[in-house]
Structure 1
Amino acid sequence: MPGPGRPDPRGIRLLALLGVVAAMAALPLTVASAGPVGEADRGAFRPPAHDDAKRPVSGRSPLLSGPAAATAVRCGPQLSSGEGIEAQTCVLTRGPDIWARTYYRNAGGEELSSVLNLMAPDGRTVEMRCAVVAADDPETCETPRQHVSGDPGAYAAIAEFARRDGGGPLLLRSGSERPQSNER
């Protein structure tokens, strides 16, 4: 029992434990709010460089299965259209999760719509529709995370950009790197 004027050591330990739990809970939110890897500032359109995006994550340490696990990124080329749209589409894998993300900039002055698809090797598709504001700032659209089923290298992603009213031709189609094939 603590003496008069002395704090209870159990209370101090409880507060320290709560502080550690709060820090661990906040870490994924901090990482998520940091933006895509390689984005130096919001004023520049800098999705991951194509060669860097192909670099696989080496090893699958059980120690790296939490929030600090590395993310493997496979991106297609950065493309642009005559209408002022730039985009690069990627498949991202972290631990057991896989998802698609497209980095884009719409400097064309017109609000657009985008459909992003993550395609699994077994034929399943996850689709995400995103409103594309008319702004020169880079933005992202991503699908919800899914559990990897089979070879993560066999997944692909495609983003398509069109006018919001659906009129007119497709303005830009951006795809991830082609899926790896086991056939020779």
Structure 2
Amino acid sequence: MDPGGRTTERCGPEVTSPEGIEAQTCVLTAGRDRTGEPGSPGRSASPASPANPGGSGGTVGLDTWARTYYRNETGGELLAVLSLMGPYGRTVQIHCPIGADDEPAICETPREPSRGEHTAYMAVAEFSAPANSGNRGNGGYSGHNRETEGYSAKSAESVETAPLLLRSGSNSPAPAAR
């Protein structure tokens, strides 16, 4: 990680389902700048630590989050579940309703303080059509916020889903060269 605050992105391959969903899922890490927050001591240098290599002035620790880039060409609304799995059994999960348009878009988890190396994290996005919708619509999707082991998360209430249409992961091996 560059102590200058640059975002590091580790992505799996772009994948496409026969139904028309394209996705690529990534784990991102960036420095946290606390210099403008209330109660912060300004740009005093922070000491080096495992979460803050190099101890850059004003940047305190690192944040990690998951993001999936997708395009829905199925003609119907879908539901994506994006999970960020990290060290010590910690998981952040968010449910993203996916519109029926075919424009490229993203779904991402909240940024959370990093706990361990960037390579210790992996992300998985799963796309499905809600089963209780006659036309693949979101058919009663209703999300709520909850707190799980110190992580923010969104969950769907009583959403039945049809079979999985596509799974995309950050740690999927790249296709072999031919």
- 1:130 aligns to 2:79 (yes or no): no
After superposition, the C-alpha distances for 1:91-118 in whole angstroms (9 at most, x for unaligned) are: 0000110000000000110100010000
Structure 1: distance between partners of 2:115 and 2:161: 37
- Amino acid aligned to 1:73: E
Deviation at 1:177?
2.2
Structure 1: distance between partners of 2:16 and 2:119: 25
Deviation at 1:167?
4.4
- Amino acid aligned to 1:120: G
RMSD: 1.5
- Could you say which residue in structure 2 is the equivalent of 1:153? 119
Contact 1:156 1:178 in 2 (8 A): no
SS in 2 for 1:174: strand
Gaps of at least 5 residues in structure 2 are 32-61, 132-159, 174-178
- Could you say which residue in structure 2 is the equivalent of 1:82? 18
Deviation at 1:76?
0.3
SS in 1 for 2:18: coil
Deviation at 1:150?
1.1
- Amino acid aligned to 1:175: G
**Cα distance, 1:129–1:167 mapped onto 2, change above 3 Å:** closer
Gaps of at least 5 residues in structure 1 are 1-56, 180-184
Structure 2: distance between partners of 1:101 and 1:126: 12
After superposition, the C-alpha distances for 1:79-136 in whole angstroms (9 at most, x for unaligned) are: 0001110000000000110000000000110100010000012111000100011111
Structure 1: distance between partners of 2:8 and 2:84: 15
The structure 1 residue matched to 2:170, chosen from 165, 168, 176, is 176
Deviation at 1:178?
5.4
- 1:162 aligns to 2:118 (yes or no): no
Q: TM-score, normalised on structure 2? A: 0.62
SS in 1 for 2:104: strand
Structure 2: distance between partners of 1:141 and 1:99: 11
Deviation at 1:168?
2.9
- Amino acid aligned to 1:177: N
- 1:92 aligns to 2:86 (yes or no): no
SS in 1 for 2:89: coil
- Could you say which residue in structure 2 is the equivalent of 1:11? none
Indicate the structure with greater helix content.
1
- Amino acid aligned to 2:30: R
